[in-house]
A and B are shown apart, each in its own frame.
Chain A
Amino acid sequence: MRTDIDLSASYPFPPERVWAALTSSEALGTWLMPNDFAPVKGHRFTFRTKPAPGFDGIVHCEVLELDPPRRMVWSWAGGPLDTTVTFTLEPAGEGTHLRLQHEGFHGLAAQLVRRIMANGWPRILRRHLAGWLAGKTP
């Protein structure tokens, strides 16, 4: 399945170390944002960051899945977003491969936007340009 944001990173540390950094409130506060996270399924918590227009700076989360040291899913609601964030850890040699998926932007809206921008946009440009060159309103 295609996802909205799908990132990967590798770290030269074993999954247990990376998992610890993902599931400690103090560690998350260092590399992500200040929070009141606890590694308990069903725990509701918030991240607090700088407010922006249309966003009060608070991300409301809940621990939806917790499968140490392999997988963790959070709900993630803040500003226009009502989404999920999934961390997946896999051992890679001596280190860890981490996958981060941020999904759910109101269904498939993000995918649609990207698909249209990737495929449709050049076509729209061409069409408008052709109309422009032909001297008529596209």
Chain B
Amino acid sequence: MNDGAVAADRFAALADPTRRHLLEQLATADRAVTELMAGLAMSQPAVSQHLRVLRDAGLVTARKDGRHRYYQLRPAGLTELRDWIDQLERFWQGRLAALGDYLHNTELHNTELHNTELHNTELHNAERHNPRDQAEDENRH
């Protein structure tokens, strides 16, 4: 399993709709913060702060190009998250298969019990005749 704490940070980073928007922008091209501001009613410091959270979570990287700083998606960060979700999905697939096994096994078990019960019908009947039936018998007499 991937480091759960890293996954936690990444999921937390993606909890914010603005940061998801930024990440989607970066999925198509590297962009400067001024470009990223275009679709957002937000100040540059605010956008930069969101980008910082994404960088700390390992989801984007930044590179300097002259006077501009360009932000770039870090695919490995996303791959690891996807692997994490895929792993959880495989966990559930395994559990659902185990549920099927459980149902079949209990069915077999019930069948065996049923057969045993049939086998012991006479004994059961004899036992059942004891306390309550006896009382009824006594009442009847």
Q: Which residues of A contact B (CB under 8 A)?
A: 4-5, 7, 9, 11, 13, 17-18, 21-22, 27, 30-32, 52-55, 79-81, 98, 100, 102, 105-110, 112-114, 116-117, 119-121, 123-124, 127, 138
Chain A residues lying within 8 Å of B62, measured Cβ to Cβ, are none
Let me know if A112 and B24 touch, CB within 8 A.
Answer: yes
- What total of A-B pairs shows CB separation below 8 Å? 124
Report whether A124 and B27 are in contact in the complex, using a CB–CB cutoff of 8 Å: yes
Asked if residues A11 and B100 are in contact (CB atoms below 8 Å), the reply is yes
* Contact assessment for B3 and A54 in the assembled complex, using a CB-CB cutoff below 8 Å: yes
Complex-state Cα separation, A119 to B9, whole angstroms: 24
| Distance to closest chain B CB from A78 (angstroms) | 9
Interface residues of B (CB under 8 A from A): 1, 3-12, 14-15, 17, 20, 23-24, 27-30, 73, 75, 78-79, 81-82, 84-85, 88-89, 92-93, 95-103, 106-107
List the B residue with the shortest CB-CB distance to A18.
Answer: B103
When the two chains form their complex, are residues A13 and B20 in contact, meaning their CB atoms are under 8 A apart?
no
17 additional contacts (CB under 8 A) given A27-B102, A124-B27: A5-B88, A5-B92, A7-B92, A11-B100, A17-B103, A27-B106, A52-B4, A80-B8, A105-B85, A107-B14, A109-B14, A109-B20, A113-B78, A113-B85, A116-B23, A119-B27, A123-B28
The answer to whether B102 touches A114, judged by C-beta atoms less than 8 angstroms apart, is no
| A124 engages B73 (CB within 8 Å) | yes
Q: Which residues of A contact B12 (CB under 8 A)?
A: 80, 106
Q: How far is the CB of A51 from chain B (nearest CB, A)?
A: 9
Residues of A contacting B7 with CB < 8 Å?
A: 54, 79-80
A121 and B26 CA atoms in complex are apart in Å by 11
Q: Give every chain A residue within 8 A of B10 (Cβ-Cβ).
A: 80, 109
Cα A100 to Cα B3 in complex, Å, equals 25
